[in-house]
Amino acid sequence: MAAGALQRSKQHQLYEMRKSIELLSDGLRLRGWLDLPEGIGRHPLAILVHGFGGLKEWTLPELASALSTAGIASLWFDPRNFGDSDGLPRDEVDHLGRLRDLQNAFTYATTLEQIDPERIGLWGTSLGGRDVLATAAVDRRVKAVVAQTPVIHWVELSGARMAGYGDDLDQFHGELAEDRKRQYLGEEASYVPFAREWDKPKHEFLDTLSQEEARNYTGRITLQSYAPTVLTDITPLISRVAPTPIQFIIAKDDPVPGQRQAFKAAQEPKSMVEVEGHHFSVYTSSKAAAITAAKEWFVDQLLHST
């Protein structure tokens, strides 16, 4: 069989094992996929959570494929307000809602006959890294965690800059208040570009997306997505994750603050893997290394651990 035909055959087999799923969270239908490895019986599972504005088509299918070949199932979905999932306003990051969605997805997974409810781990990247750490700190059902380039501190000034207000926090807060008022009166939410002109790493990643991967990408995000959140700093939660094993995957040149301090605050068992590059390199030049590290961690903690 020619190499191209063999690759298409393998892809066909993969899609045969990928099932569309729907789960409920706060009355919203969240839509995503479930990948199952070959073999009968109940499988360990990793629930995968993308970052700020990330969609289920971005990188996660590749990670799921790697886990499936190792004997681990994967479940992932568009967060509320994004992609194929329900929720309004569209394209709004709901910080607290993301945590509820993750716990509800966990509960949904425990009802699946193909999944071993005692062997479920969490993987999250960027803002999803924050989410899985915060969830594992309060939910003892979690058996293993991978936090990839996690957002540990939600920095107010960074939110203002990403929203287009520079260092003018007064104007930023004023616009947030006006936007809330307009929405209360029935008007549409205010939107800003998802990728600013100066954000070269984000643009480089977006440029790698295929037409299928970008099918739900709108190029916008609500202004309220950048509003301050009570999840300002999750460092105090990190020590509470133990005895659940934690792996941090960190990019050497990632400017996101607090990651190494958070790892230091974590209790054993824990592991850190460093990959080359910056915050978005784990989706591009360092993607293979990051996927391998996560796969090996879950194999150790969900397949081989007793």
Inter-residue contact 146 to 113 (CB < 8 Å): no
What's the rounded Cα separation, in Å, for the pair 279 and 285?
A: 11
What pLDDT is attached to residue 86?
Answer: 99
Question: Domain extents for the chain?
Answer: 3-155+231-299
Cis amide bond preceding 269, omega within 30:
yes
Segment 265-298, tens digit of pLDDT: 999 999 999 999 999 999 999 999 999 999 999 9
**Homologous superfamily of 3-155+231-299 in CATH?**
Alpha/Beta hydrolase fold, catalytic domain (3.40.50.1820)
Structure tokens at 111: 């009802």
Cα distances from 294 to residues 43, 70, 133, in angstroms, run 17, 11, 15
Give every residue of the chain whose pLDDT is below 50, as ranges: 1, 4-15
Cα distances from 21 to residues 24, 29, 108, 149, 229, in angstroms, run 10, 10, 10, 27, 30
Cα distances from 120 to residues 181, 223, 301, in angstroms, run 42, 34, 10
What pLDDT is attached to residue 265?
Answer: 97
